[in-house]
Amino acid sequence: MPAPADPQSARPAAPDGILVVDKPEGWTSHDVVARARRLCGTRKVGHAGTLDPMATGVLVLGVGRATRLLTFLVGADKEYVATVRLGQATVTDDRWGAEAGGEAELVSAEGAGGVDRDAVVRAAAGLTGEILQRPSAVSAIKVKGERAYRLVRAGEDVELPARPVTVSRFDVGEVRPARAGDTPVLDVDVTVTVSSGTYVRALARDLGSALGCGGHLTALRRTRVGGFTLGHSHPLAELEARAGEPMPVVPLAEAARASLEVRRLTADEARRVGFGQRIPSDPPGRPGPVAALAPDGSLVAVLDESGPTTRALAVLTPSTS
């Protein structure tokens, strides 16, 4: 009897490019990648920056050769809309417990009855700009070779060192008084734009600490990663409904243009770069990775032009001549 067909191999493979998913609550980023591998008909799928299971919104996936672009997208700035509950602090700095989907353990319930909007705005301003942030203990940061969240789930106390991050926007929206049992709390809607590596849960915690009442995150939605927004994203249910149809993958060159500086090469330059050869930087000293495009608009490579000559960080279209 022949072996049953592999449903993944039966699908036509999606083209190389970026697939932007609107991640649902309760899914891990790994869950979404696993589903995308099946939908795209290839195992070569990765993501550019984890979203917590509680969070929803923009999750950027690389398909095929675009997985090589993810390294350069991970460092892009990100935008979120979130709700912070002031008056209660939790072990995880959010409403979910150390076990995904469980109820968070309270570590304080000071209440926020005496806190007003002006005080919240001032405290948020103090957390804007270049700051030192202590990441949440329930994070994927490794401590002596082990993920911090696993140590917390095992009952260990974890204190991660502070590190520099940039919060370029921390806007306070609606402020709603509420009650959590007998505790008066404030639910505060915020919009933040942050550098890679910033924990919005930690911002919620630190906002509560600055106000002397404690705080934690109750909702989080990522609305942008670099040049990719919710407008580019597709809910998983929509992707599932496309069974047998091509996935809405953003082509390599378009994906690179959305997030990187661009250099347009001559045909000779494209050939040389495709062979891994160096060419003069234009201009030299340019910071950050640069997308090098051939005359036909295709993506040849991602270049480092910080020196007098280029260095190929990744060659995406090797020369065939």
Q: pLDDT digits over 200-218, tens only?
A: 999 999 999 999 999 999 9
Residue 294 lies in a domain: yes
What is the overall mean pLDDT for the chain? 89
Do 127 and 235 lie in a common domain?
A: no
Do 88 and 203 lie in a common domain?
A: yes
Tell me, what CATH number does 290's domain have?
Answer: 2.30.130.10
Residue 321 lies in a domain: no
Do 19 and 125 lie in a common domain?
A: no
The sign of the dihedral angle between the CA atoms of 279, 283, 288, 293 is negative
Domain range enclosing 289: 260-315
Choose the final residue of a domain: 176, 209, 225. Answer: 225
Instruction: Dump the DSSP string for 233-247.
Output: -EEHHHHHHTTTSPP
Contact 123, 175 (CB under 8 A): no
Please give the radius of gyration of the chain, using alpha carbons only, rounded to the nearest integer: 22
**pTM for this predicted structure:** 0.89
Do 104 and 150 lie in a common domain?
A: yes
Q: Is 52 a catalytic residue?
A: yes
Do 198 and 101 lie in a common domain?
A: yes
Q: pLDDT digits over 151-208, tens only?
A: 666 566 667 789 999 999 999 999 999 999 999 999 999 999 999 999 999 999 999 9
Q: pLDDT digits over 304-318, tens only?
A: 999 999 999 999 986
The residue with tokens 């993506």 is 299
267 three-state secondary structure: helix
Tell me, what CATH number does 178's domain have?
Answer: 3.30.2350.10
Among candidate residues 16, 22, 52, 93, the one labeled active-site is: 52
Establish how many alpha carbons lie within 13 A of residue 14's alpha carbon, considering only the half-sphere containing its beta carbon: 33
Structural domain count of the chain = 3
The strand pair at 234-235 and 250-251 is best described as: unpaired
Q: How far apart are CA 52 and CA 5, in angstroms?
A: 34
